[in-house]
Structure 1
Amino acid sequence: MRTRSDTEANVKSTALARVADATGNWVDTLAPLWSRPYLRLARFDRPIGSWLLLLPCWWSVAIASSLAHDVSRLPVTVALFFVGAFAMRGAGCTWNDITDRDLDARVERTRSRPIPAGQVTVRQALVFLVAQALIGLAVLLQFNRFAVMTGIASLAIVAIYPFMKRITWWPQVVLGLAFSWGALMGFAVIEGRLGLPAIILYAGSIAWVIGYDTIYAHQDTEDDALIGVKSTARLFGAKTHQALVVFYSLAVILIGLAIWLSGTGPVGWVGLAAFAVHLGWQIARLDIGDPALCLRVFKSNRDAGLLLFAGLVVDALIRTA
């Protein structure tokens, strides 16, 4: 018979168990034991995905504020997008882990995630998903009606994404559709509509996502081949560098077209140039046979996106001064 001390010891060991590719973070060292599996579900131990979801939101609100010649709403909108991106990224990852629990159990890097590792049940994960989605909804309701409807429309893409790796070699395109949605949201919030610059910025962000998630997927190509999971990393294989040149170039061209149509000034173009140089550095640095390096290069996209945002937001401040 299991004693109370045995149960407590089991709970503690489960909470202390770490995800394979997320060690040495604050969740593993500082968070209360009971909260760690849930924070891992939401990827608070690996916040890079939340940043990558957030950055197109920030780009679009900076460009839209510049177009409107009004930066008065910029600080609050930037803060709300920050909260919303982290909440909805957490909800999306929780949904992904629920749907992928059987696949995750068969891949070395993901078998230590909370559900396949037995740290939380599917029912507990579903409750946590709803809680995160409600936080996201609370943020969304701070905006105008058009922005609310635009935000809700993204949920269909989020819902189907986890299944795409089973049926297409291009699941990164669907991820791009979901992760780039913020490129529309800034315009929806500030202008209450989606014009041509918003659509082109969205397309450019999709190309960026396809590129960086191809890099990310190269960590798992061997396991993915064994279990039949498809990805652009497996599709491109040894031609990944050439594919990245295509998609990253397309991202820079389309984002450049969007900011040109928006009348962005010199500082915004400096931000785009810094973004482009960083993407070029990624291609030169990448070795698809080194999973640890793939992860580092993938994570560096936060810095690339922040360089672009810095240029856009400073330009918006100058333009409306």
Structure 2
Amino acid sequence: MEKLIKKINDFNELVMFKHSIFSLPFIFIAMVVAAKGWFGFKLLILGVLAALTARNFAMGFNRYMDRDIDALNPRTENRPNVDGRISVKSMLIFNIANALGFIAVAYFVNDLAFYLSIPILIIIGSYSYFKRFSYLAHVILGISLALAPIAGVVAVSESIPLWTVLLSIGVMFWVAGFDLLYSLQDMEVDKKLKLHSIPSKFGAQKTMYISRVFHTLTVLFWLLFVITSNSGIFAYIAVLASAIMLSYEHYLVNKDFTKIDRAFFTVNGYLGIVFFVLIVIDNIF
């Protein structure tokens, strides 16, 4: 039993399960808006399973592909994919199982979800390659998480309305913007290993400026989402709250680079939860 618990903890560390909080709220935001409220227990369960299997595949595949890079980075050299706690074979099995699980869940959602499942897996898996030849990898990561609201609305209505696209574009800029800040930690390592990233190409100050531009666009597209979805006052409050929290995130990073983890995990985690709660309230009253 102890070995099993240890192995589960190792896989939990591998995919950083707690970071699912970034994608889960926006799947359910789209589902709540599409259903104009409660969308049923079946879609709740399938939505959670789809989000977890997709994210496990994305993170697991990234760790599998990056094990050579992670071994050369002092910040990542103790990860389970590097130090031998999880074998290459185990990672492959884990990735295949989650990919098949995601496809199976999509099959039980509806036909459009099933047809889109493999293209979605290809997109979220492609992030692992981009950093090797393009500094736009941050945007690819943003696109990967931006698929969450699209998947949510497809599950409910088997369609992709304009407001979902606007919400997703906002998510893309949100994720790309905070990934830029997080990547500042690896700027010198990326240069040394000849990896492509915006910090290694443009430096810290320009990276923070680009991140601010991305997050300004985030707020703009989320505002357009609220307008086109005919949402109410609480949805506008959600956009205002997100603008305040993103401003605070940049304040933390500008003040002290050592606050990057706090800005990345805490602020962005709360942002998704607050946004979701306010959207739920907006669709109840």
Match of 1:293 in 2: 259
The counterpart of 1:304, out of the listed 267, 271, 278, is 271
- Counterpart in the other structure of 1:33: 6
What is the SS of the residue equivalent to 1:168? coil
Determine the structure 2 residue equivalent to 1:257: 224
Q: Distance in 2 between matches of 1:109 and 1:267?
A: 40
Contact conserved, 2:173 with 2:215, CA < 8 A, in 1?
yes
Of the candidates 53, 56, 66, which is equivalent to residue 90 of structure 1?
A: 56
CA contact (8 A) 2:29 2:276 kept: yes
State the Cα distance separating 1:288 from its structure 2 match.
8.0
Q: Which of 192, 203, 212 is residue 226 of structure 1 equivalent to?
A: 192
What is the aligned residue count?
A: 282
**Residue 210 of structure 1 pairs with residue 176 of structure 2:** yes
- For 1:279 and 1:75, locate their aligned partners in 2 and report how far apart those are by CA, in whole Å: 32
1:3 maps to: none
* Residue in 2 that maps onto 1:271: 238
Q: Distance in 2 between matches of 1:236 and 1:138?
A: 43
Check the 8 A contact 2:10/2:80 in 1, yes or no: yes
Tell me if structure 2 keeps the 8 A contact 1:40–1:114.
yes
Partner Cα separation in structure 1 for residue 225 and residue 203 of structure 2: 28
Question: What is the one-letter code of the residue matched to 1:33?
Answer: K
Mapped contact 1:267–1:315 kept (Cα < 8 A):
yes
Could you tell me which amino acid in structure 2 is paired with residue 267 of structure 1? Answer: F
Give the AA of the match of 2:34. Answer: A
Q: Render the CA deviation track for 1:39-69: whole Å, top value 9, x for unaligned.
A: 322323xx22x12122321221122122xxx
Match of 2:99 in 1: 133
Could you say what the CA RMSD is over the residues aligned between the two structures, in angstroms? 2.0
**Identical columns (%):** 25
Choose the corresponding residue for 1:62, options 13, 29, 32. Answer: 32
Matched, 1:53 2:19: no
Assess, with a 3 A threshold, how the Cα gap between structure 1 residues 312 and 296 changes in structure 2: closer, same or farther: same
> Which of 72, 86, 107 matches 2:73?
107
Asked whether the equivalents of residues 272 and 311 of structure 1 are also in contact (C-alpha less than 8 Å), the reply is: no
**If the length of structure 2 is used for normalisation, what is the TM-score?**
0.91
Is the contact between residue 140 and residue 148 of structure 1 (CA under 8 Å) also seen in structure 2? yes
Partner Cα distance (2:45, 2:210) in 1 = 35
Q: Which amino acid aligns with 1:304?
A: L
Q: 1:193 aligns with which of 144, 159, 167?
A: 159
Q: Partner residue of 1:314?
A: 281
Matched-pair contact (CA < 8 Å) for 2:120–2:147:
yes
Question: How far apart are the structure 2 equivalents of 1:164 and 1:289?
Answer: 29
Shift of 1:242: 2.2
Bigger radius of gyration: 1
1:245 maps onto 2:212 in alignment: yes
Q: CA deviation at 1:188?
A: 0.9
Residue 16 of structure 2 corresponds to residue 43 of structure 1: yes
**What amino acid maps onto 2:220 in structure 1?**
I
- Asked if the contact 2:53/2:99 (under 8 Å) is kept, the reply is yes
Verify the 8 A CA contact 1:62 1:74 in the aligned structure 2.
Answer: no
Helix, strand or coil: the match of 1:133?
helix
Residue 197 of structure 1 deviates from its aligned partner by: 1.1
Shift of 1:141: 2.7
Query: Does the aligned pair in 2 maintain the 1:204–1:252 contact within 8 Å?
Result: yes
Question: Are residues 74 and 257 of structure 1, via their aligned partners in 2, closer, same or farther at CA, if it must alter by over 3 Å?
Answer: farther
Given the superposition, is the C-alpha separation of residues 196 and 316 from structure 1 closer, same or farther in structure 2, using an over 3 Å criterion? same
Q: CA 1:201 to 1:233, structure 2 compared with 1: closer, same or farther past 3 Å?
A: same
d(CA) in 2 for partners of 1:280, 1:74: 35
Which residue type is aligned with residue 60 of structure 2? T
Partner deviation per Cα, 1:160-181 (whole Å, 9 max, x = no partner): 2101001111101111111110
Offset of residue 212 of structure 1: 0.9
Identify unmatched segments of 5+ residues in structure 1.
1-11, 16-30
Structure 1 counterpart of 2:277, one-letter code: A
| The structure with more helix, counted as a fraction of residues | 2
Q: What is aligned with 2:130?
A: 164
SS in 2 for 1:166: coil
Deviation at 1:225, TM superposition (A): 1.4
